[in-house]
Amino acid sequence: DAGVTQSPTHLIKTRGQHVTLRCSPISGHKSVSWYQQVLGQGPQFIFQYYEKEERGRGNFPDRFSARQFPNYSSELNVNALLLGDSALYLCASSLAGVRTEAFFGQGTRLTVV
């Protein structure tokens, strides 16, 4: 099992652009969560999806959106990128939607210039 896979691993974008990050959960996992980790900080919750429905949303602006597909993979979209969006974006998958162990991917390193 490859675990949670994220793509791309690294990305450089210009301010104002749009970005799409992708995540494939562990086979059989139906829940995907997204986290933003800024240098020197712990991961901060952005979204959780379970069975293709949004189950939770963190304190992020509407420029951030996500969705989950029928195969349980997920995309995180960020519009109108700001320099402050530069971070490591982590995806985590879990079996169910509530209080089950989260398995993390390696992350996507986004740099906004």
Partner 1 sequence: AQRVTQPEKLLSVFKGAPVELKCNYSYSGSPELFWYVQYSRQRLQLLLRHISRESIKGFTADLNKGETSFHLKKPFAQEEDSAMYYCALIQTGANSKLTFGKGITLSVRP
DSSP string, 70-102: TTS-EEEEE-S--GGG-EEEEEEEESSSSS---
**Whether the Cβ atoms of residue 15 and residue 112 lie closer than 8 Å to each other:** yes
How many chain residues bind partner 1 (CB under 8 A)?
30
Residue 21 beta carbon to partner 1: minimum distance, rounded to whole angstroms: 15
Q: Which residues, 12 to 31, sit near partner 1 by CB under 8 A? A: 31
Residue 74's nearest CA partner among 12, 19, 6 is 6
Report if residue 33 touches partner 1, rule: CB under 8 A.
yes
CA dihedral angle for residue 84, residue 75, residue 46, residue 70, rounded to 10 degrees = 170
CA 26 to chain centre: 14
Binding of partner 1 by 42 (CB under 8 A) = yes
The answer to the question of residue 43 lying near partner 1 (CB under 8 A) is: yes
Q: Does 107 bind partner 1 (CB under 8 A)?
A: yes
Smallest distance, Å, CB 59 to partner 1? 9
Binding site for partner 1 (CB under 8 A): 3-4, 31, 33, 35, 40-45, 48, 50, 55-56, 58, 90, 92, 94, 97-107
